[in-house]
Amino acid sequence: MSGGSLAVALAICHSLRESDAECVFGLPGTQNVALYEALRTSGLRSLVATSELSASMMANGYYRASGRPGILLTIPGPGFAWALPGIAEAALDSAAILHIAGAPATFPGNRYQLQAFDQSAVAAPLYKAVFTAARADEMEDAVPRALGCSMQGEPGPVLLQVAQEGTIRVSPTPPSSAQASEAARNEGAIEEIAQDLANASHCLLLLGQGCQEASESATRLAEHLRAVVVTTTSGRGAVPEDHPLSLGFAFSGYGVDALNALVESCDQVLAVGCKFSHNGSRGFRLRIPAHKLVHVDASRDVLGANYPARVALQADAAGFLSTLLARIQTAVPQRGFDVDELARWRERAEAEKQREGIEPCMRDIGDSRPQAFFFALRQALSRDAILVTDSGQHQELARRHFPVWCRRGLITPTNLQSMGFGIGAAIGAKLAQPQRKVVALIGDGGLAMSGLELLAAVREKMDLTIIVFADGAYGAIRNQQRAAYGHAPGSGLPELDCAEFARAVGARHVRLEGDPEAALRDAFDVPGVTLIEVRMDDSWPMRWAHAKGVVKRRLQRG
Protein backbone atom coordinates (compact mmCIF):
# COMPACT_ATOMS: atom_id res chain seq x y z
CA MET A 1 0.00 0.00 0.00
CA SER A 2 1.48 3.27 -1.06
CA GLY A 3 0.83 6.93 -0.38
CA GLY A 4 2.00 7.87 -3.87
CA SER A 5 5.08 9.60 -5.19
CA LEU A 6 5.84 13.04 -3.76
CA ALA A 7 7.38 14.08 -7.09
CA VAL A 8 4.15 13.23 -8.89
CA ALA A 9 2.12 15.02 -6.21
CA LEU A 10 4.26 18.14 -6.49
CA ALA A 11 3.86 18.08 -10.27
CA ILE A 12 0.06 17.87 -9.92
CA CYS A 13 -0.04 20.84 -7.56
CA HIS A 14 2.34 22.85 -9.75
CA SER A 15 0.20 22.15 -12.83
CA LEU A 16 -2.97 23.13 -10.99
CA ARG A 17 -1.39 26.42 -9.95
CA GLU A 18 -0.14 27.05 -13.48
CA SER A 19 -3.71 26.49 -14.66
CA ASP A 20 -4.94 29.23 -12.29
CA ALA A 21 -6.63 26.85 -9.87
CA GLU A 22 -7.25 28.34 -6.44
CA CYS A 23 -8.63 25.59 -4.20
CA VAL A 24 -9.37 21.89 -4.00
CA PHE A 25 -11.97 19.82 -2.16
CA GLY A 26 -11.53 16.30 -0.84
CA LEU A 27 -10.21 14.01 1.87
CA PRO A 28 -6.75 12.61 2.54
CA GLY A 29 -6.32 8.84 2.55
CA THR A 30 -3.65 6.20 2.32
CA GLN A 31 -3.21 6.49 -1.45
CA ASN A 32 -2.94 10.29 -1.57
CA VAL A 33 -0.96 11.28 1.54
CA ALA A 34 1.82 12.53 -0.75
CA LEU A 35 -0.67 14.76 -2.55
CA TYR A 36 -1.78 16.33 0.73
CA GLU A 37 1.86 16.86 1.70
CA ALA A 38 2.40 18.64 -1.61
CA LEU A 39 -0.73 20.74 -1.05
CA ARG A 40 0.67 21.97 2.25
CA THR A 41 3.21 24.22 0.52
CA SER A 42 1.48 24.62 -2.86
CA GLY A 43 -0.40 27.87 -2.28
CA LEU A 44 -3.66 26.09 -3.13
CA ARG A 45 -6.44 26.27 -0.58
CA SER A 46 -7.48 22.80 0.52
CA LEU A 47 -10.90 22.28 2.07
CA VAL A 48 -11.32 18.92 3.76
CA ALA A 49 -14.94 17.73 3.91
CA THR A 50 -16.41 15.09 6.19
CA SER A 51 -17.05 12.83 3.18
CA GLU A 52 -16.20 12.62 -0.49
CA LEU A 53 -19.93 12.95 -1.20
CA SER A 54 -19.98 16.45 0.26
CA ALA A 55 -16.60 17.28 -1.29
CA SER A 56 -18.04 16.52 -4.73
CA MET A 57 -21.01 18.80 -3.98
CA MET A 58 -18.56 21.53 -2.92
CA ALA A 59 -16.71 21.22 -6.21
CA ASN A 60 -20.07 21.41 -8.02
CA GLY A 61 -21.07 24.56 -6.12
CA TYR A 62 -17.68 26.11 -6.83
CA TYR A 63 -18.22 25.73 -10.58
CA ARG A 64 -21.85 26.83 -10.49
CA ALA A 65 -20.92 30.05 -8.66
CA SER A 66 -17.82 30.92 -10.67
CA GLY A 67 -17.82 29.20 -14.05
CA ARG A 68 -14.39 27.73 -13.21
CA PRO A 69 -13.80 23.98 -12.77
CA GLY A 70 -14.17 22.59 -9.27
CA ILE A 71 -11.32 20.28 -8.28
CA LEU A 72 -12.03 17.11 -6.30
CA LEU A 73 -9.42 14.85 -4.67
CA THR A 74 -10.25 11.32 -3.52
CA ILE A 75 -8.56 8.01 -2.95
CA PRO A 76 -9.54 5.15 -5.28
CA GLY A 77 -12.16 2.59 -4.27
CA PRO A 78 -14.35 3.87 -1.42
CA GLY A 79 -13.40 7.53 -1.88
CA PHE A 80 -14.12 7.34 -5.60
CA ALA A 81 -17.44 5.55 -5.01
CA TRP A 82 -18.57 7.92 -2.26
CA ALA A 83 -18.11 10.89 -4.62
CA LEU A 84 -20.28 9.47 -7.41
CA PRO A 85 -23.61 11.17 -6.55
CA GLY A 86 -21.90 14.57 -6.82
CA ILE A 87 -20.26 13.51 -10.07
CA ALA A 88 -23.62 12.36 -11.46
CA GLU A 89 -25.14 15.68 -10.43
CA ALA A 90 -22.33 17.49 -12.26
CA ALA A 91 -22.78 15.33 -15.36
CA LEU A 92 -26.52 15.94 -15.57
CA ASP A 93 -26.26 19.64 -14.64
CA SER A 94 -23.31 20.45 -16.94
CA ALA A 95 -20.88 21.39 -14.17
CA ALA A 96 -17.13 21.20 -14.83
CA ILE A 97 -15.25 19.15 -12.24
CA LEU A 98 -11.74 17.72 -12.39
CA HIS A 99 -11.72 14.61 -10.20
CA ILE A 100 -8.19 13.49 -9.33
CA ALA A 101 -8.16 10.00 -7.86
CA GLY A 102 -5.73 7.14 -7.50
CA ALA A 103 -6.01 4.38 -10.07
CA PRO A 104 -7.10 0.97 -8.70
CA ALA A 105 -4.29 -1.20 -7.41
CA THR A 106 -2.89 -3.67 -9.96
CA PHE A 107 -0.26 -6.21 -8.99
CA PRO A 108 0.41 -8.86 -11.67
CA GLY A 109 -0.66 -12.36 -10.71
CA ASN A 110 -2.91 -11.29 -7.82
CA ARG A 111 -6.67 -10.92 -7.86
CA TYR A 112 -8.97 -9.25 -5.33
CA GLN A 113 -6.78 -6.23 -4.70
CA LEU A 114 -7.56 -3.99 -1.74
CA GLN A 115 -10.20 -1.33 -2.50
CA ALA A 116 -9.95 -2.09 -6.22
CA PHE A 117 -12.70 -2.23 -8.81
CA ASP A 118 -12.95 -1.15 -12.44
CA GLN A 119 -13.26 2.60 -11.97
CA SER A 120 -13.01 3.28 -15.70
CA ALA A 121 -16.08 1.13 -16.37
CA VAL A 122 -18.04 2.92 -13.65
CA ALA A 123 -16.81 6.28 -14.93
CA ALA A 124 -17.81 5.72 -18.57
CA PRO A 125 -21.42 7.01 -18.37
CA LEU A 126 -20.65 9.86 -15.94
CA TYR A 127 -17.35 11.46 -17.00
CA LYS A 128 -16.59 13.22 -20.27
CA ALA A 129 -13.21 11.52 -20.38
CA VAL A 130 -10.86 9.46 -18.20
CA PHE A 131 -7.17 10.43 -18.21
CA THR A 132 -4.69 8.03 -16.65
CA ALA A 133 -1.12 9.15 -15.99
CA ALA A 134 1.72 8.11 -13.71
CA ARG A 135 4.94 10.12 -14.01
CA ALA A 136 5.62 13.66 -12.84
CA ASP A 137 6.47 14.86 -16.35
CA GLU A 138 3.16 13.44 -17.62
CA MET A 139 1.18 15.49 -15.09
CA GLU A 140 2.43 18.73 -16.66
CA ASP A 141 0.42 17.74 -19.74
CA ALA A 142 -2.39 15.65 -18.23
CA VAL A 143 -3.66 18.22 -15.68
CA PRO A 144 -4.22 21.16 -18.09
CA ARG A 145 -5.61 18.80 -20.75
CA ALA A 146 -8.10 17.34 -18.26
CA LEU A 147 -9.10 20.79 -17.02
CA GLY A 148 -9.59 21.99 -20.58
CA CYS A 149 -11.67 18.94 -21.42
CA SER A 150 -13.98 19.62 -18.46
CA MET A 151 -14.85 23.05 -19.92
CA GLN A 152 -14.82 22.21 -23.63
CA GLY A 153 -18.22 22.01 -25.31
CA GLU A 154 -20.79 21.12 -22.66
CA PRO A 155 -19.03 21.44 -19.27
CA GLY A 156 -18.90 18.28 -17.19
CA PRO A 157 -16.78 16.07 -14.92
CA VAL A 158 -13.46 14.59 -16.04
CA LEU A 159 -11.49 11.91 -14.18
CA LEU A 160 -7.69 11.98 -13.87
CA GLN A 161 -6.46 8.66 -12.46
CA VAL A 162 -2.99 8.69 -10.93
CA ALA A 163 -1.44 5.31 -11.69
CA GLN A 164 1.69 3.61 -10.41
CA GLU A 165 3.21 3.21 -13.86
CA GLY A 166 2.51 3.74 -17.55
CA THR A 167 1.96 6.64 -19.93
CA ILE A 168 -0.95 9.03 -20.43
CA ARG A 169 -4.09 7.28 -21.61
CA VAL A 170 -7.35 9.02 -22.44
CA SER A 171 -10.72 7.34 -22.87
CA PRO A 172 -12.66 8.47 -24.80
CA THR A 173 -10.63 10.91 -26.87
CA PRO A 174 -11.92 14.45 -26.14
CA PRO A 175 -13.05 16.52 -29.14
CA SER A 176 -10.52 18.99 -30.44
CA SER A 177 -11.01 22.72 -29.93
CA ALA A 178 -11.12 23.08 -33.71
CA GLN A 179 -14.15 20.77 -33.83
CA ALA A 180 -15.83 22.60 -30.97
CA SER A 181 -15.48 26.00 -32.63
CA GLU A 182 -16.36 24.91 -36.17
CA ALA A 183 -20.02 25.93 -35.93
CA ALA A 184 -19.12 29.23 -34.27
CA ARG A 185 -17.24 30.19 -37.45
CA ASN A 186 -20.28 29.58 -39.62
CA GLU A 187 -20.84 33.19 -40.59
CA GLY A 188 -23.64 32.31 -42.97
CA ALA A 189 -25.74 30.69 -40.25
CA ILE A 190 -25.30 33.64 -37.87
CA GLU A 191 -26.19 36.07 -40.66
CA GLU A 192 -29.37 34.07 -41.35
CA ILE A 193 -30.29 34.05 -37.65
CA ALA A 194 -29.73 37.81 -37.37
CA GLN A 195 -31.93 38.50 -40.39
CA ASP A 196 -34.75 36.25 -39.18
CA LEU A 197 -34.76 37.79 -35.71
CA ALA A 198 -34.78 41.31 -37.10
CA ASN A 199 -37.70 40.47 -39.40
CA ALA A 200 -39.76 38.79 -36.67
CA SER A 201 -42.67 40.58 -35.05
CA HIS A 202 -42.22 38.90 -31.65
CA CYS A 203 -39.17 36.98 -30.40
CA LEU A 204 -38.62 34.83 -27.33
CA LEU A 205 -35.16 34.26 -25.87
CA LEU A 206 -34.90 30.99 -23.93
CA LEU A 207 -31.66 31.06 -21.94
CA GLY A 208 -29.98 28.20 -20.11
CA GLN A 209 -26.98 27.84 -17.82
CA GLY A 210 -24.65 28.29 -20.77
CA CYS A 211 -25.67 31.97 -20.87
CA GLN A 212 -24.55 32.78 -17.32
CA GLU A 213 -21.28 34.21 -18.63
CA ALA A 214 -23.09 36.07 -21.42
CA SER A 215 -25.49 38.08 -19.28
CA GLU A 216 -24.65 41.49 -20.74
CA SER A 217 -24.92 40.35 -24.36
CA ALA A 218 -28.17 38.49 -23.72
CA THR A 219 -29.68 41.56 -22.07
CA ARG A 220 -28.60 43.87 -24.89
CA LEU A 221 -30.02 41.49 -27.51
CA ALA A 222 -33.36 41.33 -25.69
CA GLU A 223 -33.45 45.13 -25.48
CA HIS A 224 -32.61 45.60 -29.16
CA LEU A 225 -35.31 43.15 -30.30
CA ARG A 226 -37.73 43.97 -27.47
CA ALA A 227 -37.85 40.20 -27.02
CA VAL A 228 -39.20 38.50 -23.92
CA VAL A 229 -36.74 36.46 -21.86
CA VAL A 230 -37.54 33.12 -20.21
CA THR A 231 -34.90 30.87 -18.66
CA THR A 232 -34.39 27.34 -17.48
CA THR A 233 -33.88 26.91 -13.74
CA SER A 234 -30.10 26.82 -14.15
CA GLY A 235 -30.24 29.86 -16.41
CA ARG A 236 -32.16 32.06 -13.98
CA GLY A 237 -30.52 35.43 -13.43
CA ALA A 238 -28.69 35.40 -16.78
CA VAL A 239 -30.94 38.38 -17.42
CA PRO A 240 -32.02 39.95 -14.09
CA GLU A 241 -35.58 38.93 -13.33
CA ASP A 242 -36.61 42.49 -12.48
CA HIS A 243 -35.67 43.62 -15.99
CA PRO A 244 -38.81 44.83 -17.83
CA LEU A 245 -38.34 42.25 -20.61
CA SER A 246 -37.76 39.29 -18.30
CA LEU A 247 -40.60 36.89 -17.65
CA GLY A 248 -38.22 34.53 -15.89
CA PHE A 249 -39.73 34.94 -12.43
CA ALA A 250 -43.28 34.91 -13.73
CA PHE A 251 -42.61 31.57 -15.45
CA SER A 252 -40.66 30.09 -12.53
CA GLY A 253 -43.44 27.68 -11.58
CA TYR A 254 -44.10 24.22 -12.97
CA GLY A 255 -47.02 25.02 -15.25
CA VAL A 256 -46.53 25.05 -19.00
CA ASP A 257 -49.81 26.16 -20.55
CA ALA A 258 -49.03 29.90 -20.40
CA LEU A 259 -45.50 29.34 -21.69
CA ASN A 260 -46.77 27.24 -24.60
CA ALA A 261 -49.22 30.03 -25.43
CA LEU A 262 -46.37 32.55 -25.34
CA VAL A 263 -44.33 30.39 -27.72
CA GLU A 264 -47.32 30.13 -30.04
CA SER A 265 -47.61 33.94 -30.12
CA CYS A 266 -43.95 34.39 -31.16
CA ASP A 267 -42.46 34.23 -34.63
CA GLN A 268 -39.00 33.14 -33.47
CA VAL A 269 -37.63 31.28 -30.43
CA LEU A 270 -33.89 31.59 -29.86
CA ALA A 271 -32.69 29.00 -27.33
CA VAL A 272 -29.10 29.49 -26.18
CA GLY A 273 -27.07 27.39 -23.75
CA CYS A 274 -29.86 24.98 -22.80
CA LYS A 275 -30.12 21.28 -23.56
CA PHE A 276 -33.89 20.84 -23.14
CA SER A 277 -33.55 18.29 -20.36
CA HIS A 278 -36.63 17.02 -18.49
CA ASN A 279 -36.61 19.97 -16.10
CA GLY A 280 -35.45 22.43 -18.75
CA SER A 281 -38.49 21.58 -20.89
CA ARG A 282 -41.11 21.28 -18.13
CA GLY A 283 -41.12 17.51 -18.28
CA PHE A 284 -40.94 17.64 -22.11
CA ARG A 285 -44.36 19.35 -22.11
CA LEU A 286 -42.92 22.51 -23.65
CA ARG A 287 -44.03 22.80 -27.28
CA ILE A 288 -41.79 24.61 -29.77
CA PRO A 289 -42.47 24.04 -33.46
CA ALA A 290 -39.24 23.23 -35.28
CA HIS A 291 -39.77 25.99 -37.86
CA LYS A 292 -39.66 28.62 -35.08
CA LEU A 293 -36.69 27.27 -33.13
CA VAL A 294 -33.07 28.34 -33.42
CA HIS A 295 -30.99 26.29 -30.99
CA VAL A 296 -27.43 27.27 -30.09
CA ASP A 297 -25.31 25.21 -27.70
CA ALA A 298 -21.66 24.42 -27.10
CA SER A 299 -22.37 20.69 -27.28
CA ARG A 300 -23.03 18.99 -30.61
CA ASP A 301 -24.83 16.16 -28.76
CA VAL A 302 -27.44 18.53 -27.32
CA LEU A 303 -28.57 19.89 -30.68
CA GLY A 304 -31.64 18.07 -31.93
CA ALA A 305 -31.58 15.57 -29.07
CA ASN A 306 -35.10 16.37 -27.88
CA TYR A 307 -36.30 19.36 -29.91
CA PRO A 308 -35.69 19.57 -33.68
CA ALA A 309 -34.74 23.07 -34.80
CA ARG A 310 -34.85 24.99 -38.06
CA VAL A 311 -31.29 26.13 -37.31
CA ALA A 312 -29.01 24.20 -34.93
CA LEU A 313 -25.64 25.82 -34.30
CA GLN A 314 -22.78 24.53 -32.17
CA ALA A 315 -21.21 27.56 -30.53
CA ASP A 316 -20.21 29.02 -27.19
CA ALA A 317 -23.02 31.24 -25.88
CA ALA A 318 -20.85 34.27 -25.13
CA GLY A 319 -19.10 34.21 -28.51
CA PHE A 320 -22.30 33.58 -30.42
CA LEU A 321 -24.28 36.35 -28.73
CA SER A 322 -21.44 38.83 -29.17
CA THR A 323 -21.19 38.03 -32.89
CA LEU A 324 -24.97 38.09 -33.31
CA LEU A 325 -25.21 41.51 -31.65
CA ALA A 326 -22.62 42.91 -34.02
CA ARG A 327 -24.68 41.63 -36.97
CA ILE A 328 -28.07 42.74 -35.75
CA GLN A 329 -27.42 46.15 -34.20
CA THR A 330 -27.79 47.98 -37.52
CA ALA A 331 -31.13 46.29 -38.25
CA VAL A 332 -34.39 47.92 -37.15
CA PRO A 333 -36.63 45.35 -35.42
CA GLN A 334 -40.16 45.00 -36.79
CA ARG A 335 -42.01 45.48 -33.53
CA GLY A 336 -41.28 43.55 -30.34
CA PHE A 337 -43.28 43.33 -27.12
CA ASP A 338 -44.79 46.51 -25.70
CA VAL A 339 -45.47 47.27 -22.05
CA ASP A 340 -49.12 46.25 -22.15
CA GLU A 341 -48.36 42.89 -23.80
CA LEU A 342 -45.67 42.14 -21.25
CA ALA A 343 -48.03 42.98 -18.40
CA ARG A 344 -50.70 40.63 -19.78
CA TRP A 345 -48.27 37.74 -20.15
CA ARG A 346 -46.87 38.39 -16.68
CA GLU A 347 -50.36 38.34 -15.17
CA ARG A 348 -51.27 35.15 -17.03
CA ALA A 349 -48.09 33.38 -15.92
CA GLU A 350 -48.48 34.53 -12.32
CA ALA A 351 -52.09 33.35 -12.23
CA GLU A 352 -51.01 29.91 -13.46
CA LYS A 353 -48.22 29.80 -10.88
CA GLN A 354 -50.62 30.65 -8.05
CA ARG A 355 -52.78 27.65 -8.98
CA GLU A 356 -49.87 25.24 -8.62
CA GLY A 357 -49.40 22.85 -5.79
CA ILE A 358 -50.33 22.89 -2.13
CA GLU A 359 -47.98 24.80 0.11
CA PRO A 360 -47.23 24.52 3.83
CA CYS A 361 -47.44 27.43 6.25
CA MET A 362 -44.84 28.90 8.57
CA ARG A 363 -45.04 29.19 12.30
CA ASP A 364 -44.20 32.14 14.50
CA ILE A 365 -43.99 34.84 11.81
CA GLY A 366 -46.57 37.48 10.93
CA ASP A 367 -47.58 36.29 7.45
CA SER A 368 -47.41 32.50 7.36
CA ARG A 369 -47.44 32.17 3.56
CA PRO A 370 -44.18 30.97 1.93
CA GLN A 371 -44.58 33.75 -0.64
CA ALA A 372 -44.29 36.34 2.16
CA PHE A 373 -41.20 34.65 3.58
CA PHE A 374 -39.39 34.68 0.23
CA PHE A 375 -40.35 38.31 -0.32
CA ALA A 376 -38.73 39.10 3.04
CA LEU A 377 -35.66 37.03 2.14
CA ARG A 378 -35.28 38.83 -1.19
CA GLN A 379 -35.55 42.22 0.53
CA ALA A 380 -33.00 41.26 3.17
CA LEU A 381 -30.39 40.12 0.63
CA SER A 382 -28.27 42.24 -1.70
CA ARG A 383 -28.80 41.95 -5.46
CA ASP A 384 -25.66 39.87 -5.92
CA ALA A 385 -26.41 37.34 -3.16
CA ILE A 386 -26.40 33.63 -4.02
CA LEU A 387 -29.18 31.32 -2.82
CA VAL A 388 -28.28 27.62 -2.84
CA THR A 389 -30.95 24.98 -2.24
CA ASP A 390 -31.00 21.29 -1.50
CA SER A 391 -33.56 18.93 -3.03
CA GLY A 392 -37.03 18.93 -1.51
CA GLN A 393 -40.17 20.94 -0.86
CA HIS A 394 -38.15 24.00 0.13
CA GLN A 395 -36.57 24.04 -3.35
CA GLU A 396 -39.97 24.00 -5.02
CA LEU A 397 -41.00 26.98 -2.91
CA ALA A 398 -37.77 28.86 -3.63
CA ARG A 399 -38.03 28.32 -7.37
CA ARG A 400 -41.62 29.57 -7.32
CA HIS A 401 -41.27 32.57 -5.02
CA PHE A 402 -37.66 33.85 -5.05
CA PRO A 403 -36.74 36.25 -7.90
CA VAL A 404 -33.13 36.13 -9.09
CA TRP A 405 -31.52 39.49 -9.80
CA CYS A 406 -27.99 38.50 -10.82
CA ARG A 407 -26.22 35.83 -12.82
CA ARG A 408 -25.45 32.64 -10.89
CA GLY A 409 -27.76 33.93 -8.16
CA LEU A 410 -29.69 30.66 -7.71
CA ILE A 411 -27.92 27.31 -7.49
CA THR A 412 -30.02 24.16 -7.23
CA PRO A 413 -29.54 20.50 -8.05
CA THR A 414 -31.57 20.33 -11.23
CA ASN A 415 -31.47 17.15 -13.27
CA LEU A 416 -30.38 14.59 -10.66
CA GLN A 417 -32.01 16.28 -7.64
CA SER A 418 -29.67 14.69 -5.12
CA MET A 419 -30.33 15.41 -1.45
CA GLY A 420 -27.19 16.46 0.40
CA PHE A 421 -26.35 19.06 -2.26
CA GLY A 422 -27.22 22.27 -0.46
CA ILE A 423 -24.67 22.75 2.32
CA GLY A 424 -21.71 21.40 0.36
CA ALA A 425 -22.57 23.43 -2.73
CA ALA A 426 -22.99 26.57 -0.60
CA ILE A 427 -19.52 26.07 0.89
CA GLY A 428 -18.07 25.67 -2.61
CA ALA A 429 -19.96 28.74 -3.82
CA LYS A 430 -18.65 30.82 -0.93
CA LEU A 431 -15.05 29.85 -1.67
CA ALA A 432 -15.63 30.74 -5.32
CA GLN A 433 -17.29 34.09 -4.51
CA PRO A 434 -16.05 35.19 -1.06
CA GLN A 435 -17.23 38.77 -1.59
CA ARG A 436 -20.88 37.73 -2.19
CA LYS A 437 -23.42 36.73 0.44
CA VAL A 438 -24.18 33.01 0.19
CA VAL A 439 -27.27 31.48 1.81
CA ALA A 440 -28.14 27.79 1.78
CA LEU A 441 -31.80 26.78 2.04
CA ILE A 442 -32.38 23.18 3.09
CA GLY A 443 -34.93 20.96 4.81
CA ASP A 444 -34.42 19.19 8.10
CA GLY A 445 -33.96 15.97 6.13
CA GLY A 446 -31.07 17.61 4.27
CA LEU A 447 -29.67 18.86 7.57
CA ALA A 448 -29.72 15.31 8.96
CA MET A 449 -27.97 14.04 5.84
CA SER A 450 -25.23 16.63 5.43
CA GLY A 451 -25.32 18.96 8.43
CA LEU A 452 -21.91 17.91 9.72
CA GLU A 453 -20.37 19.76 6.78
CA LEU A 454 -20.96 22.88 8.86
CA LEU A 455 -17.92 21.72 10.82
CA ALA A 456 -15.84 22.52 7.74
CA ALA A 457 -17.48 25.93 7.33
CA VAL A 458 -16.82 26.77 10.98
CA ARG A 459 -13.25 25.51 10.78
CA GLU A 460 -12.64 27.65 7.69
CA LYS A 461 -14.14 30.71 9.45
CA MET A 462 -16.67 31.27 6.68
CA ASP A 463 -19.50 33.79 6.71
CA LEU A 464 -22.29 31.42 5.72
CA THR A 465 -26.00 31.30 6.51
CA ILE A 466 -28.03 28.09 6.51
CA ILE A 467 -31.84 28.38 6.57
CA VAL A 468 -33.60 25.16 7.61
CA PHE A 469 -37.27 24.57 6.87
CA ALA A 470 -38.10 22.19 9.72
CA ASP A 471 -41.29 20.14 9.37
CA GLY A 472 -40.14 16.81 10.81
CA ALA A 473 -40.44 14.98 7.51
CA TYR A 474 -39.24 14.55 3.97
CA GLY A 475 -41.98 17.03 3.14
CA ALA A 476 -42.30 16.68 -0.63
CA ILE A 477 -42.40 12.87 -0.40
CA ARG A 478 -44.84 12.91 2.52
CA ASN A 479 -47.22 15.13 0.54
CA GLN A 480 -47.15 12.72 -2.41
CA GLN A 481 -47.77 9.72 -0.14
CA ARG A 482 -50.65 11.33 1.70
CA ALA A 483 -52.35 12.55 -1.46
CA ALA A 484 -52.11 9.11 -3.09
CA TYR A 485 -52.64 6.75 -0.13
CA GLY A 486 -53.56 8.75 2.96
CA HIS A 487 -50.46 7.50 4.78
CA ALA A 488 -46.77 8.46 4.75
CA PRO A 489 -44.61 5.49 5.78
CA GLY A 490 -40.88 6.17 6.01
CA SER A 491 -41.06 9.91 5.41
CA GLY A 492 -41.18 11.03 9.05
CA LEU A 493 -37.94 12.22 10.68
CA PRO A 494 -36.74 11.85 14.28
CA GLU A 495 -36.99 15.16 16.11
CA LEU A 496 -33.85 17.21 15.56
CA ASP A 497 -32.99 19.97 18.03
CA CYS A 498 -31.56 22.58 15.66
CA ALA A 499 -30.29 24.76 18.51
CA GLU A 500 -28.33 21.92 20.08
CA PHE A 501 -27.05 20.82 16.71
CA ALA A 502 -25.79 24.31 15.92
CA ARG A 503 -24.09 24.52 19.30
CA ALA A 504 -22.42 21.14 18.73
CA VAL A 505 -20.85 22.19 15.43
CA GLY A 506 -19.90 25.67 16.63
CA ALA A 507 -22.53 27.62 14.67
CA ARG A 508 -24.91 30.32 15.86
CA HIS A 509 -28.61 29.41 16.03
CA VAL A 510 -31.55 31.73 15.31
CA ARG A 511 -35.19 30.69 15.43
CA LEU A 512 -37.15 32.87 13.05
CA GLU A 513 -39.99 34.71 14.77
CA GLY A 514 -41.94 37.93 14.32
CA ASP A 515 -40.92 40.15 11.40
CA PRO A 516 -38.95 37.83 9.08
CA GLU A 517 -37.19 40.57 7.13
CA ALA A 518 -35.86 42.28 10.25
CA ALA A 519 -34.82 38.95 11.79
CA LEU A 520 -33.06 37.86 8.59
CA ARG A 521 -31.20 41.18 8.27
CA ASP A 522 -30.00 40.88 11.86
CA ALA A 523 -28.83 37.31 11.28
CA PHE A 524 -27.03 38.19 8.05
CA ASP A 525 -25.13 41.00 9.77
CA VAL A 526 -23.42 38.64 12.22
CA PRO A 527 -20.18 37.10 10.87
CA GLY A 528 -19.54 33.38 11.00
CA VAL A 529 -21.80 30.39 10.41
CA THR A 530 -25.46 30.89 11.36
CA LEU A 531 -28.24 28.29 11.32
CA ILE A 532 -31.68 29.89 10.97
CA GLU A 533 -34.55 27.58 11.91
CA VAL A 534 -37.94 28.17 10.28
CA ARG A 535 -40.66 25.99 11.78
CA MET A 536 -43.20 24.68 9.27
CA ASP A 537 -46.76 23.43 9.65
CA ASP A 538 -49.33 21.74 7.46
CA SER A 539 -51.70 24.24 5.89
CA TRP A 540 -55.44 23.60 5.64
CA PRO A 541 -55.14 22.67 1.93
CA MET A 542 -52.48 20.11 2.89
CA ARG A 543 -54.73 18.62 5.57
CA TRP A 544 -57.62 18.51 3.13
CA ALA A 545 -55.46 16.71 0.56
CA HIS A 546 -54.46 14.23 3.26
CA ALA A 547 -58.10 13.59 4.17
CA LYS A 548 -58.99 13.02 0.52
CA GLY A 549 -56.09 10.58 0.26
CA VAL A 550 -57.44 8.58 3.21
CA VAL A 551 -60.91 8.41 1.62
CA LYS A 552 -59.43 7.50 -1.76
CA ARG A 553 -57.48 4.61 -0.25
CA ARG A 554 -60.51 3.29 1.61
CA LEU A 555 -62.59 3.36 -1.55
CA GLN A 556 -59.84 1.49 -3.42
CA ARG A 557 -59.95 -1.23 -0.76
CA GLY A 558 -63.70 -1.50 -1.18
pLDDT tens sequence across 390-412: 999 999 999 999 999 999 999 99
What single-letter DSSP state applies at residue 459? H
Phi, psi of 235 (to 5 degrees): -95, -5
Q: Pairing between strand 23-26 and 45-48?
A: parallel
Average pLDDT of the chain, as a whole number: 92
Asked if residue 401 and residue 343 are part of one domain, the reply reads no
pLDDT of residue 396: 94
Number of domains in the chain: 3
Do 272 and 248 form a contact (C-beta atoms < 8 A)?
A: no
Output the pLDDT for position 355: 86
Q: Strand 311-314's sheet: what is its strand order?
A: 228-231, 203-207, 268-272, 293-297, 311-314
Q: Is 389 strand, coil or helix?
A: strand
Judge if 224 and 96 occupy the same domain: no
Alpha-carbon distance 420 to 82, whole Å? 12
164 and 74: one domain? yes
Of 295, 322, 352, which closes a domain?
A: 352
Confidence (pLDDT) at 125: 93
Q: Report yes or no on 417 lying in a domain.
A: yes
Alpha carbons within 13 A on the beta-carbon side of 43: 11
| DSSP 8-state secondary structure symbol assigned to residue 211 | G
Strand 529-537 versus strand 361-362 pairing type: antiparallel
In a domain, 486, yes or no: yes
Q: What is the pLDDT of residues 504-536, one digit of tens each?
A: 999 999 999 999 999 999 999 999 999 999 999
Q: Which of 169-183, 207-221, 370-384, 537-551 has the lowest mean pLDDT?
A: 169-183
* Inside any domain, residue 326: yes
Q: Evaluate whether residue 231 is within a structural domain.
A: yes
The SS3 call for residue 133 is strand
Cα angle, residue 116 at apex, residues 63 and 416 outer, rounded to 5° = 35
Same-domain check for residues 17 and 55 = yes
Q: Are residues 376 and 332 in the same domain?
A: no
Q: Which of 157, 174, 191 is the last residue of a domain?
A: 174
Pairing of β 130-133 and β 169-171: antiparallel
Out of 174, 203, 219, pick the residue that ends a domain.
Answer: 174
**Domain check: are 279 and 132 in the same one?**
no
Considering the domain architecture, whether residues 348 and 362 belong to the same structural domain is answered as: no
Judge contact between 126 and 99, C-beta under 8 A.
no
Higher-pLDDT residue of 202, 103 = 202
pLDDT digits (tens, 9 = 90+) for 134-182: 999 999 999 999 999 999 999 999 999 998 766 667 777 665 554 444 5
**Domain extent for 55:** 6-174
Please check whether residue 1 lies inside any domain of the structure.
no
Same domain assignment for residues 251 and 143: no
Q: Of 384, 432, 425, which Cα lies nearest the Cα of 66?
A: 432
Per DSSP, what are the bridge partners of residue 24?
A: 46
Q: What is the pTM of this model?
A: 0.94
308 and 372 assigned to the same domain: no
Q: Are both 116 and 249 inside the same structural domain?
A: no
Q: Does residue 151 fall inside a structural domain? A: yes
Residue pair 189/312 in contact by the 8 Å Cβ criterion: no
Is 267 among the domain residues?
yes
